[in-house]
Amino acid sequence: MKYLPVDEVAALLGISERAVRKNAEEGKYGEIRYEEGNRGRGGRVMLIPLSGLPAPARVSYLKRMVDTPETTDDLSDLTQDERDEIGRKKAVLAAWWAYRSEARGGRSLREVDREFVAMWQAQHPEARLSVPTLHRWDKAYREGGPRALLDRRGRARAGETSVPDDLWQLYKDLYLSEHRRTHMQCYQFVRDYAFINKRLHEVPSESAFRRRAEREFDKATLIFLREGEKAWQSLAAPYLEMDRAGVAPGAIYVFDHFQLDIAAVDEDGRVIRPWLSVAMDYRTRLYVGWAVTNRPCTDSTMAAAGMAFMNPERGVPDIIKLDNGREYTSYAFAGRGHRKASHKLVHDEAYIRSLVAHLQLTVIFTTPEHPQGKGEVERSFRTVHEEFCKSFLSYLGNRPEHRPENAEAIRKDKSKLLTLPEVHKWVSEYIVNVHNERPHQGRDMNGLSPRQVWDAEIHRRPVRYVDRDVLKLLLMPYAEGRLYTVQRGGIKVWGRYYWSEALYRLLGEKVMVRYDQADASRIYVFRPDGSFVDAVPAKALG
């Protein structure tokens, strides 16, 4: 018979040790005994029989004292639910074995077992335990080990299949293709094939095919084979996420475009949806440069880059991350060797050093039509749409179903529409005072705004400065993106001739022309190898 000291009984019953001793001395726990020791009255230790305690206390003790049988069986191939099921049943068996050894006291095992089940059920009403169940578990465990404790009802043939291998291969060939046939279409095709070959009796139910498909086809495989590599790259391919906190402010600028969902009027009086081109600092999400134009192009990108690069507080980055759109991969911006293009300027100027080479920038192009490559900017564009675009009466909606009913009326009344310079003004107000100042919830932002993070961490990397005049020259766009021939009358650009004495020695040769968007009175001429020739003024009219 098992005896427990007073302190342990007090813990089981949730009462004081003094109350336990009082109850024991009054005979409420049955026959107690004493052992010699270094505690208790007169050096004696009171011991109380486990069998004399209330049933709930006995069950609690047994649960705590369970020594779950050890097993060397590898259960790693089982599900967590299956391992939990085995663990629960082993715990019940261990408690039952311990109770039998302690509580029999001359009684029949059947009586002891019924008593254990009653006590266990009282403590665990959801267990649905019975004496036959205990004996069945005990027999299964002793004969088959822990795995035998699993309830195999409905799982006896798990992993097996009734689908003949050749019919399954036919189903796979049909289902795993970019035709994207439905399960039922593939199943019906298999049945038709079997019927023609007098094997219809071998075709199991469609659910048999469905269950096997669920076992064998993982989601990534289905996307790759049914939707193609592009969808797989976008939806299922593994990727490494760059640690923003490890990048210093100003080290990486990300460029992208966004069409504003408002109506505006361009310089020719046409109603358009203007485009916003931005340069965003990768670490801080700070917009460091932007431009508003009637369409995304190299000029708009140059303008956004110029705004960032010429700002003494921002400077020139080490890396620029670009979209693969044509405006970004033009020779003027990205340089030779970054991406093939059919641009005449690329073919004719094999040795021209581009803006990238001049500023010693590293260029990273995002994967074409792969939004994850520039998600940091595109997520911010959604905020621009919600906060900026929707605040204008000329809002047009970003999809047909979101288009206001008066959208057509808005387009027709040009007098109420903003011009591109006005849109640029309001965009600048929004970016400087709202976007760059709003606390950000990104995991590496600590609730600070983009500007606050920039100010706090800009010391991590010296700002790269380039002479403003040099930058201005480098950021000038190429006139019409082509080479010009030096004629006797000079160089004809936009219907106007430009001439200087420096062009004499280049008569008949091809040159590059750059221009200042704010000053058409002169052009800047370069040889095809990139060397500067002269700032050439326009010839006087008449």
Q: Express each pLDDT in 172-202 by its tens digit.
A: 999 998 889 999 999 999 999 999 999 999 9
pLDDT value at residue 492: 92
- Region of poorest pLDDT, from 38-47, 108-117, 308-317, 456-465: 38-47
**Is the model's pLDDT at 402 over the cut of 90?**
no
**Is the model's pLDDT at 339 over the cut of 80?**
no
**Is the model's pLDDT at 353 over the cut of 70?**
no
CA separation for the pair 97, 62 (Å, rounded): 10
pLDDT value at residue 161: 64
What mean pLDDT do residues 523-540 have? 87
pLDDT value at residue 238: 65
> Percent of the chain, pLDDT > 90?
24
What mean pLDDT do residues 29-58 have? 75
Contact 536, 502 (CB under 8 A): yes
pLDDT value at residue 182: 93
What mean pLDDT do residues 53-58 have? 77
pLDDT value at residue 67: 46
**Is the model's pLDDT at 166 over the cut of 80?**
yes
Which domains does the chain possess? 3-53 (1.10.10), 165-235 (1.10.10.60), 244-460 (3.30.420.10), 479-537 (2.30.30.130)
**Is the model's pLDDT at 74 over the cut of 70?**
no
**Is the model's pLDDT at 65 over the cut of 60?**
no
Backbone angles phi, psi at 479, to 5 degrees: -65, 115
pLDDT value at residue 249: 94
**Is the model's pLDDT at 38 over the cut of 80?**
no
Full strand arrangement of the beta sheet holding 510-516: 484-485, 510-516, 519-526, 532-537
**Is the model's pLDDT at 245 over the cut of 70?**
yes
448 pLDDT band, cuts 50/70/90, is very high
pLDDT value at residue 435: 93
Measured in whole angstroms, how far is the alpha carbon of residue 370 from the centre of its chain? Answer: 13
364 pLDDT band, cuts 50/70/90, is confident
What mean pLDDT do residues 2-12 have? 83
Higher pLDDT, 224 or 327: 224
458 pLDDT band, cuts 50/70/90, is very high
pLDDT value at residue 104: 59
**Is the model's pLDDT at 520 over the cut of 90?**
no
Kindly report the CA angle at 448 between 446 and 454, in degrees rounded to 5?
110
> Percent of the chain, pLDDT > 70?
81
340 pLDDT band, cuts 50/70/90, is very low
Residue 254, number of CB atoms within 10 A of its CB: 25
pLDDT value at residue 156: 47
pLDDT value at residue 352: 29
CA separation for the pair 242, 228 (Å, rounded): 26
Exposure on the CB side of residue 172, measured as CA atoms within 13 A? 14
pLDDT value at residue 369: 53
Higher pLDDT, 142 or 179: 179
Q: Which run of H or E residues covers position 117?
A: helix 109-123
What mean pLDDT do residues 97-117 have? 77
365, with CB counted inside 10 A (0-12, 13-18, 19+), is middle
CA separation for the pair 512, 510 (Å, rounded): 7
Kindly report whether the global pTM for this prediction surpasses the value 0.85. no
What mean pLDDT do residues 520-533 have? 86
pLDDT value at residue 142: 80
- DSSP letter for each residue of 467-517: -HHHHHHHHSPBGGGS-EEPBTTBEEETTEEE--GGGGGGTT-EEEEEEET
What mean pLDDT do residues 362-382 have? 69
What mean pLDDT do residues 71-85 have? 72
**Is the model's pLDDT at 43 over the cut of 80?**
no
The secondary structure of 392-447, three-state, reads CCCECCCCHHHCCCCHHHHHHCHHHCEEHHHHHHHHHHHHHHCHHHCCCCCCCCCC
pLDDT value at residue 183: 93
For 482-506, write each residue's pLDDT tens digit.
899 999 999 998 888 999 999 999 9
Residue 123, number of CB atoms within 10 A of its CB: 12
The alpha carbon dihedral of 275, 281, 283, 286 has a sign of negative
Higher pLDDT, 176 or 327: 176
CA separation for the pair 323, 371 (Å, rounded): 10
To the nearest whole number, what is the mean pLDDT of the chain? 80
Higher pLDDT, 56 or 331: 56
**Is the model's pLDDT at 30 over the cut of 70?**
yes
Higher pLDDT, 368 or 441: 441
pLDDT value at residue 243: 74
What mean pLDDT do residues 403-424 have? 80
pLDDT value at residue 95: 83
